[in-house]
Amino acid sequence: MLKFAALIAALALPPVFIDQSWLLAYLAQTATLIVFALSYNVLLGETGLLSFGHAVYAGLGAFAAAHAFNRFGVPLPVLPLIGGCAGVLAAVFIGAISTQRAGTPFAMITLGIGELVAASVWLVPGWFGGEGGVTIDRAGGPPLLAWTFGPSRQAYALIACWCVLSALAMFAFSRTPMCRLANAVRDNPARAAAIGFAPRRVRFTMLVVSAFFAGVAGVLSLVNVELVSAESVGLARSTSVLVATVIGGTGSFFGPVIGAVLLTFFSVAVANVSAAWPTYLGLFFMWAVVAMPDGVAGCFTRDVRGLALRMVSAMAWAVVVVVVVETLYARQARAPGLPRGAWVLAAACALLGALLARRAASRSGIRSIADNRATSAR
């Protein structure tokens, strides 16, 4: 519960001390991605299903909620439930096909279905709104007491509440027997089938649950920007949630939360100061996959001193990467480059990073030998 308290504090306290619209937009985007990443981890982390079309459920849920709001005047606080139900409906049809197999076949089927839905945006403009998408005026719906949800602060409060409720619901679901059964199907589907549980049905159930919360995340994005378009169901959005989940770590429930925070930081904060932010994100993703197989969340379960050495080494190498990348971008744009002192700093950081990485590796090796000896003694 301490981690949930930290999540609530991170969402609630900043707007109290800093009254800035950009902060509310940043936090709203982060909260939306947290729900989206947690829903994706129901598939990837709990069930072992790699999906390249997860944005389909979020996008279709957002489109359904937008039409329900515009045509029938459904209250804004109820819209996430509409989006979740639409995501479930889509998962019932898609899951009947995709969950027949796991592994690569499932990934390729979801990729094909995702591209099919993305193409349908242009084929069915009456529903998807064509190039402009579907817009809503969140202040035009029925008010809740004195709240019209027009001001950014009121809209953010709604998004933050749904984020916390969704996270609590998914955490509770992760402790159910169904989720434990999904772990068994992930690890050994043949053994799960031998004891009487059909792996396909388990995968189908987990997909439906995941799609519900993905639909909720899609509506939270709709509430934030008041627009749902072709990008909401595109491959880029499915890839972004995959990156966030892997960076944070699939082995921990709060791993996707960390990944969502980091991805939003790159796409918003870093993007505001450098046009090279996709390069930094790609490099960070590759480094995370190679150096942190368990994700960022998994690092906190390791040796604290070794973790500190690796983090300082990574920060030193980050300085080197920034100097090199910014110099290359400056030359391409024919803009003034970094001062010469930056290269001196980069060289010093490269030396420091190499020394700390070597020391951390040696410490890790010593600890592994000690653990093996302790295991043998037992």
Q: Is the pLDDT of residue 320 over 90?
A: no
* pLDDT reported for residue 302: 62
d(CA 182, CA 250): 14
Domain boundaries, the chain: 2-275, 304-370
| One CATH from 1.10.510, 3.10.28, 1.10.3470, 1.10.10 for 2-275 | 1.10.3470
End-to-end, the C-alpha distance of the chain in Å comes to 34
* pLDDT reported for residue 377: 46
Q: Is the pLDDT of residue 355 over 90?
A: no
Prediction pTM value:
0.89
* pLDDT reported for residue 165: 95
Q: Which helix (H) or strand (E) holds 129?
A: none
Tens digits of residue pLDDT in 203-214: 999 999 999 999
Burial class (CB in 10 A: 0-12, 13-18, 19+), 377: exposed
Q: Which of 110-114, 314-318, 335-339, 372-376 has the lowest mean pLDDT?
A: 372-376
Q: Is the pLDDT of residue 60 over 80?
A: yes
Query: DSSP of 21-61, one letter per residue?
Result: HHHHHHHHHHHHHHHHHHHHHHHHHHH----S-THHHHHHH
Tell me the range of 19-28, 296-305, 329-338 where mean pLDDT is highest. Answer: 19-28
Tens digits of residue pLDDT in 212-263: 999 999 999 999 999 998 888 988 999 999 999 999 988 888 999 999 999 9
